[in-house]
Amino acid sequence: MRKTYVILRWELKKIFSNWHKTVTLFLLPAVLMMLALNVFPLLINYMSTGSLSKKPIILVSAPQSFRDYVKETADANVYTYSYMSFNEFSALFGDNERFGKQLKGGTIICFFAPGETDDSFDNAVKDYYREICGGNNSATSKAVIYVGFDLNSLSGGLRAQQFKQGILENYQNSLIDRLGGDYSELGSKLFSVDSFNPVTKLMDNRSVADDSASRIVPGMLLLMMYYCSYSLVSDMFASEKERGFWAKLKMTPVSASSIFAGKIAAITLIVSAATYLTTLLLFLTSWINTANDAMSLLPFGMMLTPFELLIVLITIPFTVIVMTAVCISTVFSLDKMQDITVNLQLPLVLFLADFFIQMFRGTRPMTLEYFIPMHNSLALISESYMAQEKIWHVIAVLAVNTIVAFLVMRSVYRKESLYDNRKRRA
């Protein structure tokens, strides 16, 4: 046990005394992932609009009720607005070239039309409520809000959709309070006072963010874990085997099992720490994403309960152990460094495929998936983000990964320890 600790300490010292390695393992993959997450929406925006910046939403003839709504509603402040009178808009509309260019650039136009009357939008809505209160149940509102965008612009279309669902629908619902007044069927008052519950607000955000996170985060963590595991196995086993240092270690009065245990413990500690850091950064990425872009992969408000977080944190080291065992088995079943490197990198392709499948799949994990080593961690983490985890999932994942890691390592150990004393005595 003491020798295992000596090996563990040595390996940790080796990693942390070399800033190059530390940065490569801890920061580079995490930062690259963060960049990828943040660059993705920008890239899509650029590809569809030709511009990196997000254009403001042009509000034409915006009524006072909407201006007030924007001032009072946090969600509405996600967007920037440019106010325009009808005459200004007419001038812009008349200039085909300028107008086309604006739309192509991802501009969204929101036009508040009062309908047939020459009155304002707000008055048109008030008339509607008045008619309803007067007993005209078949009354229809003449007021219309037109949302215009370029159909060829992917990000423009998505933003328009998000704006319609997230802002205009809520604005429409608020009109009964704002403009219905005494005429409202429900008898709403002109001024109402509501208490704000931040937890409810956060939970609303969470349901959206965690749904996205369950698609993105598990795959990213799995990729991160495998990348770090294989890099370290390559360094601690493959390289040492190639330069004969492994033989030198085996010549010491330390059993092969202690050497393996020390190195595996070091890899598990380092990779788990690096993955925890990535998890933290993913949370930060979500929580700083207040703009909540339509194409954002990690929307604002990603959150886990302490129990769900615990499951994620426990799953990580168990996944690392099985990944490490598989990598070690590859190292000791091949002789040439080139073959080892290629074979160690191959599973990355599988994890990448798993990541994309998870991103786009529309179904929950099947029972069988909890018994597929490594992939089961992806299923469990994903279910934790969806708050659908079950205790048997956790037990199955931890047990399967541990058993597989143990069996793989036992086979490697048997091959590697030439003089297995226990075997001989038996």
Partner 1 sequence: MITVKDVHKSYTKDTETIRGVSFEIGKGTIFGLLGPNGAGKTTLMQIIATLMKPTSGTVEINGLSPEKDLLEIHKFLGFLTTEIKLDPVSTPDDLFDFFAELYDIPKNDVKSRKEKAFERFGITPFAKRRISELSTGMKQKISIAISLLHDPPIIIFDEPTNGLDILTSRQVTDYLKELRNEGRCIILSTHIFSVAEELCDEVAILVDGKIVAQGTVAELTAMSGEKDFEDAFFKIYVENHRERP
Q: For the chain, give the longest Cα–Cα distance.
A: 101
Answer yes or no whether residue 12 interacts with partner 1 by CB under 8 A. Answer: no
Based on the number of CB atoms within 10 Å of its own CB, is 27 exposed (0-12), middle (13-18) or buried (19 or more)? middle
Of 17, 138, 195, 200, the one binding partner 1 by CB under 8 A: 17
Q: How far is the CB of 49 from partner 1 (least distance, A)?
A: 48
Instruction: Please report how close the Cβ of residue 247 comes to partner 1 at its closest, in angstroms.
Output: 5
371 with 400: CB under 8 angstroms?
yes
Give yes or no for residue 255 binding partner 1 (CB under 8 A). Answer: yes
Q: Which of 18, 77, 85, 136 binds partner 1 (CB under 8 A)?
A: 18
Nearer to partner 1, 232 or 304 (CB): 232
Of 211-240, which residues contact partner 1 (CB under 8 A)?
240
| Bridge partners, 145 (sequence order) | 112
With vertex at residue 94, the alpha carbon angle to CA 93 and CA 99, rounded to the nearest 5 degrees, is: 45
- In degrees, rounded to 5, the angle at the alpha carbon of residue 262 between the alpha carbons of residues 258 and 263 is 120
Find, among 180, 170, 189, the residue nearest to 141 by Cα. 180
The residue behind tokens 């029972």 is: 367
Is residue 253 a contact point for partner 1 (CB under 8 A)?
yes
Q: Kindly indicate which of the ranges 53-61, 218-226, 331-339, 416-424 contains the residues binding partner 1, using the contact rule CB under 8 A.
A: 416-424
Rounded CA separation 31/35 (Å): 6
User: Is position 245 an interface residue for partner 1 (rule: CB under 8 A)?
Assistant: yes
Q: Does 415 bind partner 1 (CB under 8 A)?
A: no
Minimum gap (Å) between residue 9 Cβ and partner 1: 9
Among 244, 360, 362, 422, binds partner 1 (CB under 8 A): 244
Closest CB to partner 1 among 233 and 397?
233
Shortest CB 312 distance to partner 1, Å:
33
Question: What's the closest the beta carbon of residue 28 comes to partner 1, in angstroms?
Answer: 18
DSSP characters over 309-350: HHHHHHHHHHHHHHHHHHHHHHHHH---HHHHHHHHHHHHHH
Rounded least distance, CB 2 to partner 1, Å: 9
Which one of residues 10, 89, 93, 371 is an interface residue with partner 1 (CB under 8 A)? 10
148: helix, coil or strand? strand
CA angle 60-62-65, nearest 5°?
Answer: 165
**Distance, C-alpha 81 to centroid of its chain:** 28
Q: Which is nearer to partner 1, 23 or 35 (CB)?
A: 23
Please give the backbone phi and psi of residue 246, each rounded to the nearest 5 degrees, phi first: -60, -40
- Are 303 and 290 in contact by the 8 Å Cβ rule? The answer is no
Pick from 98, 189, 201, 248 the residue near partner 1 by CB under 8 A.
Answer: 248
Contact 294, 161 (CB under 8 A): yes
Q: Which of these ranges, 29-37, 112-120, 249-257, 382-390, lies near partner 1 under the rule CB under 8 A?
A: 249-257
**Which is closer to partner 1, CB of 10 or CB of 371?**
10
Single-letter residue type at 203: M
Cβ 25 to partner 1, closest distance in Å? 14
Residues 6+ apart with CB under 8 A from 160: 108, 147, 149
Count how many residues are written for the chain.
426
Q: x/- site string to partner 1, residues 132 to 161, per CB under 8 A?
A: ------------------------------
386 in contact with partner 1 (CB under 8 A): no
Q: Whole-number minimum distance, CB 248 to partner 1, in Å?
A: 5
Site for partner 1 contains 243 (CB under 8 A): yes
- Rg of the chain over CA atoms, in angstroms? 30
Rank residues 7 and 265 by Cβ distance to partner 1 and give the closer one: 7
Is residue 85 classed exposed, middle or buried when 0-12, 13-18 and 19+ CB atoms within 10 A define those classes? Answer: exposed
- The nearest distance, CB 245 to partner 1, in angstroms, is 6
- Which 299-328 residues touch partner 1, going by CB under 8 A? none
Q: Which of 104, 250, 277, 337 binds partner 1 (CB under 8 A)?
A: 250
- What SS3 class is residue 60? strand
Positions touching partner 1 (CB under 8 A) are 3, 6-7, 10, 13-14, 17-18, 21, 240, 243-245, 247-255, 418-419, 421, 424
